């Protein structure tokens, strides 16, 4: 991935600026380390990161501001001469190769637990692209939407891909929600896992498809869905009552937390629905759903806390920022799993940035010392030099 970014960034710089422009891999890694440190420090502007008062000494020692801006100006992720041809069939062509490698690494690097949560992430951005989304219920209304599957226990991002609008490769008559879930869960099928999702994804046909691949489902159902029996649509229910409907491989639970409100939960992992021995008499399907529904939301909160996102007019750079955020979160999860010790995420990010920039900083010091050694020695003041 780094070599690909290095190649196409150098290609763009030599085509637009100067023929001898060059950037090696240690310098690219140092560039990424500066991006991570800027996300940790959260300084207002780019210039403040190198200022005497607000600047981070590690950023100043790693890379000069002008060089950082120069690399950012030429940062590219694909061949600029073949992009228009590839964009005719792939809207994500400007970064699809690097993104595909990132997702492949995420899938191969970790074996998730039993419970996987599926949801959507809206990465805030107002860049001009054909698949920018507006979602009024999100904190940031505009952004690029990603479908995400993450491990419930660790919030590790198992699989992710962007929403690019209408997909011509989707089979006719198949719901978008089913296509998304089947694509996200494909690497983790036939292993007895449970998928938790909200009412946008949940359907009886999806539950039966997943059950045939030894994967169970747990999710809420929209009360207007055609799959809900007519007898379950009554509005005036007694408070804390439960009604259960069964069909082949799935169970629908209708629970009334309030007098005129009903919650519909579809499950293929519960063959028997039991209620708690409490005042609310909540069924176990609802309790289990409440425990497992927050995987993607928690992941999104963690990513936003130390996000490297910055202002940009190019949507591939915005996607690259989201990729760094996700990669850093996954790296933190894997690091803790390997050493068996809990470490604060901010400390991990600082150490990660330090290690990424170490090689480039060492090369800079060695080059500076070499230049000092090549300079002729000047006589000390007050003494006459010999001819």
Query: What 3 state SS string does the chain have?
Result: CHHHHHHHHHHHHHHHCCCCCCCCHHHHHHHHHHHHHHHHHCCCCCHHHHCCCCCCHHHHHHCCHHHHHHHHHHCCCCCCCCHHHHHCCCCCCCCHHHHHHHHHHHHHHCCCCCEEEEEEEEEECCCCCCCCEECCCCCCCEEEEEEEEEECCCCCEEEEEECCCCCCCCCCCCCHHHHHHHHHHHHHCCCCCEEEECCCCCCHHHHHHHHCCCCEEEEECCCCCCCCCHHHCCCCCCCCCEEEEEECCEEEEEEEEECCEEEEEEECCCCCCCECCCCCCCEHHHHHHHHHCCHHHHHHHHHHHCCCCCCCCCHHHHHHHHHHHHHHHHHHHHHHHHHCCCCCHHHHHHHHHHHHHHHHHHHHHHHHHHHHHHCCCCCCCCCCCCC
Q: Which residues pair with 145 in a beta bridge?
A: 122
Dump pLDDT digits (tens) for 319-351. Answer: 999 999 999 999 999 999 999 999 999 999 999
pTM over 0.85: yes
- Mean pLDDT along residues 244-272: 88
**What confidence tier does 185 reach under pLDDT thresholds 50, 70, 90?**
very high
What is the pLDDT, as a whole number, of residue 109?
A: 94
Dump pLDDT digits (tens) for 110-131. Answer: 999 999 999 999 999 999 888 9
- Mean pLDDT along residues 265-280: 87
Dump pLDDT digits (tens) for 207-217. Answer: 999 999 999 99
- With a cut of 60, say whether residue 298 has pLDDT above it: yes
- With a cut of 80, say whether residue 234 has pLDDT above it: no
What is the pLDDT, as a whole number, of residue 121?
A: 93
- With a cut of 60, say whether residue 198 has pLDDT above it: yes
Q: Which of these ranges, 109-113, 139-143, 144-148, 274-278, has the smallest mean pLDDT?
A: 274-278
What is the pLDDT, as a whole number, of residue 270?
A: 87
What is the pLDDT, as a whole number, of residue 272?
A: 85
Mean pLDDT of the chain: 90
């Amino acid at each position: 991935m780094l070599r690909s970014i290095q190649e196409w960034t150098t290609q763009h710089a030599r085509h637009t600026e100067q023929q001898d422009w060059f950037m090696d891999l240690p310098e690219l890694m140092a560039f990424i380390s500066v991006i991570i440190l800027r996300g940790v420090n959260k300084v207002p502007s780019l210039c403040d990161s190198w200022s005497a008062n607000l600047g981070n000494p590690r950023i100043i020692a790693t890379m000069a501001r002008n060089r950082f801006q120069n690399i950012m100006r030429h940062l590219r992720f694909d061949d600029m001469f073949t992009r228009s041809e590839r964009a005719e069939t792939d809207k994500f062509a400007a970064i699809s190769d690097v993104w595909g490698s990132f997702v492949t690494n995420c899938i191969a690097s970790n074996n998730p637990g039993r419970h996987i949560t599926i949801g959507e992430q809206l990465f805030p951005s107002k860049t001009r692209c054909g698949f920018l989304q507006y979602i009024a219920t999100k904190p940031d209304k505009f952004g690029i939407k990603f479908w995400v599957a993450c491990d419930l226990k660790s919030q590790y991002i198992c699989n992710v891909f962007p929403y690019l609008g209408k997909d011509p490769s989707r089979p006719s008559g198949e719901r978008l929600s089913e296509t998304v879930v089947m694509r996200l869960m494909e690497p983790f099928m036939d292993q007895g896992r449970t998928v938790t999702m909200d009412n946008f994804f949940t359907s009886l046909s999806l539950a039966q498809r997943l059950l045939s691949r030894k994967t169970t489902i747990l999710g809420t159902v929209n009360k207007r869905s055609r799959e809900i029996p007519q007898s379950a649509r009554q509005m005036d229910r007694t408070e804390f009552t439960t009604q259960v409907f069964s069909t082949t491989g799935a169970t629908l639970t209708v629970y009334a937390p309030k007098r005129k409100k009903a919650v519909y939960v579809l499950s293929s992992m519960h063959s028997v629905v039991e209620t708690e021995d409490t005042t609310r008499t909540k069924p176990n399907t609802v309790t289990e759903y409440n425990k497992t529904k927050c995987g993607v939301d928690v992941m999104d909160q963690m990513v936003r806390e130390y996000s490297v996102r910055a202002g940009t007019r190019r949507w591939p750079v915005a996607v690259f920022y989201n990729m760094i955020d996700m990669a850093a979160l996954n790296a933190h999860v894997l690091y803790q799993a390997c050493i068996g010790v809990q470490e604060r995420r901010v400390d991990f990010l600082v150490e990660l940035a330090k290690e990424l920039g170490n090689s480039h900083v060492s090369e800079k010091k060695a080059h500076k010392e070499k230049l000092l050694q090549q300079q002729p020695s000047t006589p000390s003041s007050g003494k006459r030099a010999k001819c």
